[in-house]
Amino acid sequence: MITNIWQSIPPFIQILLKPADKYPGIFSVNSIFGRFLYFLPCLCISLLAIAAVIACFWLPETLHKHTEDTMLNSSTEAVEEPCSDLNAEQSGSGCLSLFTNWPLMSTITVYCIFSLQDMAYAEVFSLWAVSDRKYGGLSFSSQDVGSVLSISGLLLLIYQILIYPLVANSIDPITLVRAIALLTIPLLSSYPFMPALSGSILQLALNCASFLKNSFSVTTMTVFNILMNDAVSQDLRASANGLSVTLMSIFKTIAPAVAGVIFSWAQRRQTAPFLP
């Protein structure tokens, strides 16, 4: 649910851009919002970040804290000391064993690939939507893009609360990931044909496609976290998640640059004889 809330933020950023031009009755052209076109969305994001920091003080502690008896005698401490050294050695070797854990590493690999294409999609979608139709885009304004993303975010919230639990209970995780991987191919392949549509039909098709793509992303993210936690013991889950997040971040860093280059290259080759 928190993921859906954060995914609904970009549409509002699109709506808040250039407030003096979009909402002249509220924001004056001579005000700070008129001189700095991107000040309002940056201000809202900063306030959200501050609210998140403040909310962290009320987060419950999930670690089990054990109180030690201060009246333990020296003989008991002598017995416990070698045991703790042994546990530390086992924990250290366990972290290295993550790289030989095939279920974990295969899950992380696929997770990184899905993260790469999700971030590439997020990078290209807005650029594609605002591009001129002669370049294969939709000639949308930033407010049109924000409306599409807002509707998708709202439907996504409903999906994860009402629909996803039913899907997760009826389909096992691996089968669900495989089905989403197969369905993603025709879904993304349908986007180049949308410029041929117009009016309400285009809005309906684009909103449905955007919702399906985002619901696939949320579902795979949840499933991969379940698979990674099931692949390791409880004492290694933090290390496993740290490894997965690190590798995923690398792929997410590469995705925008690669997607932007490919998108620019594609727009220059509208009528090319090879790979138009």
Does residue 195 lie in a domain region?
A: yes
Do the Cβ atoms of 129 and 185 come closer than 8 Å? no
CA distance 82 to 4: 47
pLDDT, position 89: 45
Of 241, 237, 259, whose CA–CA distance to 249 is shortest? 241
Q: pLDDT at residue 232 above 80? A: yes
Does residue 226 lie in a domain region?
A: yes
Both tokens assigned to 208: 């449905």
Q: What are phi and psi of 210, to 5 degrees?
A: -65, -40
What mean pLDDT comes out for the span 252-270?
Answer: 88
Q: How many domains does the chain have?
A: 1
pLDDT, position 14: 65
Does residue 167 lie in a domain region?
A: yes
pLDDT, position 73: 47
CA distance 110 to 244: 11
Of 153, 152, 129, 146, whose CA–CA distance to 207 is shortest? 152
Does residue 172 lie in a domain region?
A: yes
CA distances from 35 to 45, 102, 131 (A): 19, 55, 26
Question: pLDDT averaged over the chain?
Answer: 81
CA distance 191 to 86: 57
Q: Which band of pLDDT confidence, cut at 50, 70 and 90, is reported for residue 2?
A: very low
CA distance 31 to 49: 24
pLDDT above 70 covers what percent of the chain?
Answer: 83
Other C-beta atoms lying within 10 Å of the C-beta of residue 102: 9
Does residue 163 lie in a domain region?
A: yes
Both tokens assigned to 204: 């309906």
With b meaning 16 or more CB within 10 Å and e meaning fewer, what string describes 186-210?
A: ebeeebeebbeeeeeeeeeebbebb
Q: Which helix (H) or strand (E) holds 33?
A: helix 32-35
Write out pLDDT tens, residues 92-109: 456 777 888 888 899 999
pLDDT, position 91: 47
Q: Which helix (H) or strand (E) holds 75?
A: helix 74-97
CA distance 229 to 243: 12
* DSSP 8-state class, residue 163: I
Domain hosting 154: range is: 102-268
Choice among 7-16, 19-28, 66-75, 256-265 with the minimum mean pLDDT: 66-75
pLDDT, position 219: 92
Write out pLDDT tens, residues 41-69: 888 888 988 998 998 888 877 665 555 44
pLDDT, position 4: 45
CA distance 36 to 42: 10
Write out pLDDT tens, residues 115-151: 999 999 988 998 899 898 888 889 988 778 888 888 8
The tally of CA atoms less than 13 A away on the side-chain side of residue 266 is 14
Q: pLDDT at residue 6 above 60? A: no
Report pTM: 0.71
Q: Which band of pLDDT confidence, cut at 50, 70 and 90, is reported for residue 85?
A: very low
Write out pLDDT tens, residues 173-224: 899 999 999 999 999 999 989 999 888 999 999 999 999 999 999 899 889 9
CA distance 157 to 163: 10
Q: pLDDT at residue 87 above 50? A: no
With b meaning 16 or more CB within 10 Å and e meaning fewer, what string describes 48-70?
A: eeeeeeeeeeeeeeeeeeeeeee
